[in-house]
Amino acid sequence: MRICVIGASGKLGQYLVRHALDRGYEVVGVCRERSVGKLAAVADRITIVPGPTNDREVIRKAVAGCDGVLTVLVPWGVRQYSSGTAQAVLDHAEPGARLVFSCGWHITRDGKDRYSRRFRTALWIAAKLARLVRAVDIDDQVEACRRIFASDRRWTVVRGSDLEEGESQGLPVWSRHVGDPVLASNLTRRVDFALFMVEALTDDTLVREAPAIVGRLSPSALAHAEDGTPQAG
Ligand SMILES: NC(=O)c1ccc[n+]([C@@H]2O[C@H](COP(=O)([O-])OP(=O)(O)OC[C@H]3O[C@@H](n4cnc5c(N)ncnc54)[C@H](OP(=O)(O)O)[C@@H]3O)[C@@H](O)[C@H]2O)c1
């Protein structure tokens, strides 16, 4: 299996590379030229394609021959970084390739997610502030996901809760809608967010799903398991 990790040098990206190598996959990593050094520890085991992730030519070259593409979707800047990255992957990935994208709970696929007032307020403030300093454009990540959801590719959009560092707790559990009780703890280890994305490459039940995930050992996930209520993941 040959896979491409787009955004390989970031925190999530480095975990994705590690999980993929652990599975014996051949890995191609795309990252900004200035960040190539962050991949020094694995540089002799992966192919690195340096460049902006919304550069269509960079993406075309990197995804050629790949069975799967793992994309860290980040809304940096105000130049359609997210939507440009997603569109390049949708356009250039091999026919039939599994495409797995990361984002946060704030993305909704069908409008049926139920957010707490605290979550909505925090998101509103973060979006306004970020747009003001032209650092982040959350609306562009929304647009990126709209295009993915509309695509007939074999995609999965993994929606991460708040993240923390730490040892793996195993595969996160997931639900279709934020607001479902199993997700209430709103915390996942970053290493396990990556694990879920890599597992999704070979899990056809996740094709055209937008799972919202939470840590397997978080209180809400455990409470749900004790209820005997079925849980995914
Ligand atoms: N952070 C959270 O709490 C949280 C919560 C839920 C979901 N998520 C999702 O998780 C994913 C990544 O989150 P993360 O916190 O773990 O971040 P991360 O892995 O550190 O990813 C950041 C990525 O953005 C790139 N980047 C940074 N500054 C940039 C710039 N100015 N222009 C272009 N690219 C830039 C980084 O590349 P370089 O290595 O080149 O800097 C890296 O690939 C995203 O999809 C996010 O929506 C995050």
Angle subtended at Cα 24 by Cα 18 and Cα 29, rounded to the nearest 5 degrees = 50
**What is the amino acid identity at position 218?**
S
| 63 residue type, one letter | V
pLDDT attached to residue 66: 98
Distance of CA 170 to the CA centre of its chain: 17
Q: Where are the beta strands (DSSP E) in 89-195?
A: 98-104, 154-160, 162-164, 173-175, 187-189
Q: Is residue 232 part of a domain?
A: no
Among residues 117, 85, 88, 116, the alpha carbon closest in space to that of 102 is found at 85
Residue 24, domain CATH: 3.40.50.720
Do 105 and 113 contact (CB within 8 A), yes or no? yes
| Number of domains the chain contains | 1
pLDDT of res. 230 = 47
Q: Look at residue 83 and tell me if it is in a domain.
A: yes
To the question of pTM greater than 0.85 for the whole model, the response is yes
Question: Per the domain annotation, does 233 fall within a domain?
Answer: no
Residue whose CA is at the smallest distance from ligand 1 atom 28: 76
The ligand 1 atom nearest the CA atom of 34: 40
Residue-wise pLDDT for 167-209, tens only, equals: 999 999 999 999 999 999 999 999 999 999 999 999 999 999 9
Q: Which of 5, 12, 190 to mutate to test the pocket of ligand 1 (most atoms within 8 A of CB)?
A: 12
In a domain, 101, yes or no: yes
User: What is the extent of the structural domain holding 8?
Assistant: 2-227
- DSSP conformational letter for 22: H
Structural domain contains residue 169: yes
Note whether residue 206 is domain-resident: yes
Confidence of residue 78 (pLDDT cuts 50, 70, 90): low
pLDDT in tens, 17-48: 999 999 999 999 999 999 999 999 999 999 99
Ligand 1 contacts CB of residue 72 (under 6 A): yes
